[in-house]
Amino acid sequence: MARAPGVANAWTARRFRHSQNRHHSLDRLDRVAVVLQRQKKLQTPAQRVADLTFSSRHINLLLDRHRRLREWYWHPTCKGLIAMDVTQFNVNELFQKSIVWDAHCGMDPQVPIDVNSLERIRKAGFTFVSTNVGYDVLPWHDTFPVIAGYRKFLSQNTDKYILVSSVADVLAAKREGKLAVSMDIEGVSALDGKIELVETYHRLGVRQISFVYNKDNAGGSGCHGSDTGITQFGREVVREMNRVGMLVDGTHCSPKMSIDMAETSSKPIVISHSNSRVLHDHPRNIWNEQAIACAHTGGVIGVTGIRLFLAKPGDATSNLDLLVRNIDHYCELVGPQHVGIGTDFAEITNALATRFENATDYWPFEHYQGAASLEFVDIEVFPQLTAALSAKGYSNMDISGILGGNFMRVAAANWE
């Protein structure tokens, strides 16, 4: 089986500080557990409620010792625990009742914004989506008009959408039947070498940045680049994102780069939309070591729906089966609590197709075969994951986490 050159040795040589400091003081959690036990009238003793799994920087996933099928989320803004009992739902209800989180959609970052794709995501039943507002392929200053376009559209359509600043906004969107929308950037070229722009983007609503877009940039090495890893500027960006409250995203990175990012970050990172290179050897996919490094921080890997990254041309396997195959692989590798969805969905515009055809330094023809290879899995396919995963024996708790609970957990650890 193919492996990334040098990655295994690099991985085994590292001693992640995250793994050495997993035990947090239980004092505050003990107090919360007693209140929770009284208010919720739980049969589980408070001492057992307090005996939970969590990381050094955030409460991770709270379960009693007998793994009662209940998801608990520590919500710092509400200063309390939010509980959802997922055992009561049948397969047909689970998607509707769960937080459904799209960690990244790939809509063309242009003005006017792609309202049609956004509306399809909402109608498909998603709770949250992070939409691309800029990437290295375009001039960095083009990002600001796109952000302005989204902010204006969302402010004019508050009956359907909520602009996200915190997890509380996502929960509000779920209650009100709206789509929570956040923004992300692909590539630190959007910073123009200025670390101060991280906070500026955060204030404007950007909550996630992936550091490179396929080729090397000032932050580090891309999946079609040199694999030299993170730069000093890249490390400074990671630390600043940790400070202001942004998700550090290792998608589109080279193997060494994403592992370096995981080692640098003091908070859980994500690889928002990347399939397994073990299953399909495309440079845009990730090796097992990259997924493990992400999970080691408490982070989540999002399975993505671009056909080119799911299978070779001519493969007759259905899109749904290919998505489930990748979910299966990651669940076996790192556990279902570290797996989610990042659809990369978009409707293909003429501008996107032309750019894809011409920008061969970002999309080398040997790996992408031009615009003719662009095929996105329809967003309407993703709700079918619930039944498909249930049929394979996944529990309601695991399915609900994969649909969105896992990414929400990591967002709360970074944003709050």
- Residue 103 and residue 209: Cα distance in Å, rounded? 11
pLDDT at 62: 33
Long-range residue pairs from 37-45, CB within 8 A, at least 24 positions apart, any chain:
40/83, 44/68
Whether the predicted model's global pTM rises above the 0.85 cut: no
- Residue 330 and residue 387: Cα distance in Å, rounded? 18
- Residue 407 and residue 298: Cα distance in Å, rounded? 10
pLDDT at 336: 96
Specify which residues 225 forms β-bridges with.
Answer: none
Considering only CA atoms, which of 340, 342, 313 is closest in space to residue 402? 340
Specify which residues 84 forms β-bridges with.
Answer: 71
Considering only CA atoms, which of 82, 174, 195, 57 is closest in space to residue 126? 174
pLDDT at 168: 92
All residues at 6 or more sequence positions from 399 whose CB lies less than 8 Å from its CB, including other chains? 86, 94, 98, 385, 386, 389, 390
Residue 280 DSSP one-character state: S
pLDDT at 380: 96
Asked if residues 308 and 368 have their Cβ atoms less than 8 Å apart, the reply is: yes
Q: How far is the CA of 383 from the CAs of 27, 84, 121, 340, 346, in angstroms?
A: 40, 19, 11, 13, 17
pLDDT at 51: 33
pLDDT at 83: 53
Superfamily grouping for domain 7-16+92-415: Metal-dependent hydrolases (3.20.20.140)
Asked if residues 74 and 314 have their Cβ atoms less than 8 Å apart, the reply is: no
Is residue 255 reached through a cis peptide bond, with omega within 30 degrees of 0 on the bond before it?
A: no
Q: What are phi and psi of 312, to 5 degrees?
A: -70, 155
pLDDT < 50 stretches in the chain? 1-82
All residues at 6 or more sequence positions from 96 whose CB lies less than 8 Å from its CB, including other chains? 125
Asked if residues 291 and 329 have their Cβ atoms less than 8 Å apart, the reply is: no
Specify which residues 83 forms β-bridges with.
Answer: 72
Give the domain ranges of the chain. Answer: 7-16+92-415, 20-88
- Residue 22 and residue 386: Cα distance in Å, rounded? 31
pLDDT at 211: 96
Helices (H), 63-189: 91-97, 115-123, 143-156, 167-176
pLDDT at 79: 40
